[in-house]
Chains A and B, each alone.
Chain A
């Protein structure tokens, strides 16, 4: 009986004009496009320089900034008002003002009359841009004060060289960071939302009515509906890992069994959520809307794109109820750090708690509507 039910789901799945293609295309697009596009690195910051010094040194500073590759020099002018006007018009993102007497103060070591103004309409671009810019100036200053220090006496003491070292992702490559997170998103979509839409689809078609008058229990009917999607999920997971390895050369540092275990736990959560959605919606449109609501909240508050620790406290509190937070954290830890399941036990506990709550609620509401 179960065999036949599952067979029917697979038949329907493969006959759908869209679904099989989505399952193939979705991970490919996710893995090949997103890591490049959904990138937190900021490049091509439009820069205008107000150079009031006009010396070789100031020109060198400008060159230093532009050769970093992060800035695109729009203009060098001497009128700060004009620069401000350009920023107001949104043609430039940052203004670097080099004050009069810049080269003189470098020689005397009196500090730099340099000003930075950034356009923070796009907050990320603004704050990261100003960081880059000050880094450039720091580097410039260092190189020149080094030259100057030889003139000074050596007793000025050891210079503390603080060079950060990045663990687990040595080049701060955003792609490495995103790959496990994208797997998380793909798995969530396929396990939670496809089956929910499928069940709502049977509701719309009226076929669920036919099934309800049959001796088959509702539970086995639903479980048989979900099993194919679980199989498909693992197929997709494999595909994502394969792409990560073939294209980016990333391999999972931890055990694949850990990845599988957390995926299973996450499936439990999404199955519960999917069932809840299908219980409370009468048609596909409603289901889609509820899903959009959850997907947006889950993704934005999961730490997938922006770190949880930088959220305000009340928002951090909300993330504790977000299954994606745990799953994403666990996947990153296992994938990038090679953590064992024991290392991320709290993520497993979180998933288990949310999963059992969602499933219980789903089953209760399911019985009530019967």
Chain B
């Protein structure tokens, strides 16, 4: 089976839960309903023809009008990969965790939660991972504005040229 055949098989099995199949993209992908993501992932992992036993990548992307979570799956036994996407509303992005399907999702979902602000329901340890615990906002959002200081430490510095010229005066 290849990626496109897999998308068709999933569409036959899940019907309206598959919202879109994009065959023209560089890496063809399938957009699914957020409520069915765990079900579809488990189906792809357990079906002997697909056997997607590895979640290689999980990425959050902010598109200004929506937030997408991209799942890159790979099947070591069948030697091919598929890409799933869910589209979430920007003001309250919530989706169920796939940590119950692949353990590697744990840290990748923490990263998306931290940097994009997607809440993963049922995640065992949903804490910030890269930014400090008390950091305001989510830095990878397009409308994120960096605060001028953090606990009294300035986040901006004069350009070295301006500083050099000031010293000279």
A binds B: no
Interface set of A (CB-CB < 8 Å, partner B)? none
Interface set of B (CB-CB < 8 Å, partner A)? none
